Amino acid sequence: MTDRADELRSNLLQVQERIEKACQAAGRSPDEVTLVAITKTFPVSDVRALAALGVRDVGENREQELKVKAPECPDLTWHFVGQLQSKKARSVVRNASVVHSVDRSSLVEALSKAAVAEEKTLRCLIQVSLAAYGSAEAATGAGRGGVEPSDVPDLAAEIAAADGLELGGVMAVAPLGSDPGEAFAGLREVASRLRSEHPGADWISAGMTGDLEAAIKHGATHVRLGRALLGTRPPLG
């Protein structure tokens, strides 16, 4: 085993232990929580090494990276977790089975058209803004998109009615500089309201390296982990 494979193995074991402890504390079974390895900025050799260790779910936040890496590892389930321009919808649908970041009607239309053209069913999560739980500065921070909780039902109805799309649930990123537990508790309420209308929309994608325990406590079904598994990311070029 190479040094890097060894390092990934040890990181994965630590992450699995964190997930197990968090589940235990929350009275949940670890089987209810899927680890999605966010491999952005890391080479496809790392993806292969994680796959060899049993990781089946992998995510990227940029279309340019997804379209290069996903075809190299077609047996894995690829998730797209980043902001998405409608013109990139076709490429993302071709390379991923789940999009976590659906946040507007125009994107629903573009994804639906692409899914029909690719003859695929794409699972869509609605990205929910938790800015209301953050500080004022955090709310203005870039890259923390998502729809307001009050807009979730309308967008959900559009996804549920769209050809080629399947409504999967919700996704969120906790706001910076505040208690992620409060934010994820809010997300859980949004998720249960959604589920009462759409019983199949039962995924809650929440929790990253810094806050996976809080997310699991509040019902996360999918944790998206980058740094805890792969280490510090090189700065984006």
Interface contacts to ligand PLP, rule CB under 6 A:
38, 40, 61, 81-82, 173, 208-210, 224-228
CB distance 106 to 87 below 8 Å: no
In angstroms, what is the minimal distance from the CB of 100 to ligand PLP? 7
In angstroms, what is the minimal distance from the CB of 61 to ligand PLP? 4
Of 11 and 112, nearer to ligand PLP (C-beta) is 11
Which is nearest to 9 in space by CA: 58, 53, 72, 55? 53
Of 38 and 220, nearer to ligand PLP (C-beta) is 38
Of 164 and 208, nearer to ligand PLP (C-beta) is 208
Of 207 and 219, nearer to ligand PLP (C-beta) is 207
In angstroms, what is the minimal distance from the CB of 37 to ligand PLP? 9
In angstroms, what is the minimal distance from the CB of 104 to ligand PLP? 17
Which amino acid does the sequence have at 222? H
Sign of CA dihedral 186, 188, 192, 195: positive
The encoded tokens of residue 88 equal 């990139």
Extract the runs of DSSP E, i.e. beta strands, from 54-202: 57-60, 77-80, 98-102, 122-127, 165-171
Of 164 and 171, nearer to ligand PLP (C-beta) is 171
Which is nearest to 225 in space by CA: 49, 53, 58? 58
Of 191 and 225, nearer to ligand PLP (C-beta) is 225
In angstroms, what is the minimal distance from the CB of 229 to ligand PLP? 8
In whole angstroms, give the CA distance from residue 76 to residue 36: 11
Name 68's Cβ contacts closer than 8 Å, sequence gap at least 6: 44
Q: Which residue is nearest to ligand PLP (CB)?
A: 226
In angstroms, what is the minimal distance from the CB of 198 to ligand PLP? 22
CB distance 229 to 14 below 8 Å: no
